[in-house]
Amino acid sequence: MTSRQRVWAAITHQPVDRVPCDIWVTPEIRQELLAHFQTDDWSVVLDELGVDGIAGVMPSYAGPPWTGPDGGPAGLWGAQSRRIELPTGGSYTERIHAPMADFTEIAQVEDFDFGDPADWDFEAAAEACRSAHPHQVVRLGYIAPFVDLWTLFGEERALLNIGLRPELIEAVLDRVMDYRLRQHRLLFEACARHADLAQVTDDFGGQNGLVMSRETIRRLFWPHYRRAIALAREFGLKVYHHDDGGIGEIIPDLVEMGVEVLNPIQWRCPNMDLAWLKGEFGDVLCFDGAVDNQKVLPFGTPEDVRAEVRKNIRVLAGDGTGYICGPCHNIQSGTPLENVLALYDEIRVSGSFA
């Protein structure tokens, strides 16, 4: 089977010759892998590791530049971030300006300029889809209303307003989703012919469970999810959902709404038992990820990593399909290279059904 055939078969619960695999890495691990294989071509690394992958396509912003309150450059809707360098060699971005951080009134939301959803380069996205589609399953877009609230309010203020000013949050979500659904309709019109999945996603889970109650998620977010999933269905796209942490409580809701691929499966978190996931949802969900990157990959031995891969394949691909093996999030800087190599070698060794 080709990589595209293998991943699509797993997603649609058809037999596969071997468990397909994907890769998520930080820039530091990416550089280590390029150096190890003595190349500056990432596709060479993917070939050496045997990665099938999913091609993610999102249009680039092409509208009038956004600026922050200091007049400096900003991201979408005027949000600003800065890069923080770590002594270990890694880095992360930290938000320094959220455009709605001080909003308290619905009138302020109504007056806010969200810009034009057509201000994106859909033709370049279409070309990326046409290029990738013969070789890989293609995942389109990024509809994530809770993450958009982080952009507009900042993470802490978003959560506080969900608790203290739910009517303000509802007004923002209505505006945000009008923008995102128009943006993604234009994206799907340009690209869906050469795409397979739509990403309707968020981060409702934390290390110890949901970051808010299931009832709150159902009330505020699921009506918008239903609109987004209906749009994907209109264009014949299956729905891919990324959600970190302990989200077990809301997985039945996601399935009922029509999610078909679930990532990243952080099984160390509560309510994420692998056997329960496969037993309850294995006939309707394809699981993507699941190899522990909190303890096993960074701190285990290569044999620990191999055992982790074997366990995940045994449980999540016990019926011979429905699983894309890979790390349960980005492989972090400081992870031993031999563990990364062991991960992908073991998928080849233990994932074969031939």
- Residue 281 sits at the vertex; the CA angle it makes with 275 and 286, to the nearest 5 degrees, is 95
DSSP 315-339: HHTTTS-SEEEEESSPBPTT--HHH
Instruction: Say whether 230 sits in a helix, a strand or coil.
Output: helix
For residue 1, what pLDDT band results from cuts at 50, 70 and 90? very high
205-206 and 209-210: which strand pairing? antiparallel
- pLDDT given at position 225: 98
Amino acid letter for position 285:
L
pTM for the whole structure: 0.96
Q: What is the pLDDT of residues 113-170, one digit of tens each?
A: 999 999 999 999 999 999 999 999 999 999 999 999 999 999 999 999 999 999 999 9
Strand 238-242 relative to strand 209-210: parallel, antiparallel, unpaired?
unpaired
Q: What is the pLDDT of residue 92?
A: 82
Cβ contacts of residue 90 below 8 Å, gap of 6+?
26, 27, 28, 332, 333, 334
Write phi, then psi, for 262 (nearest 5 degrees): -120, 130
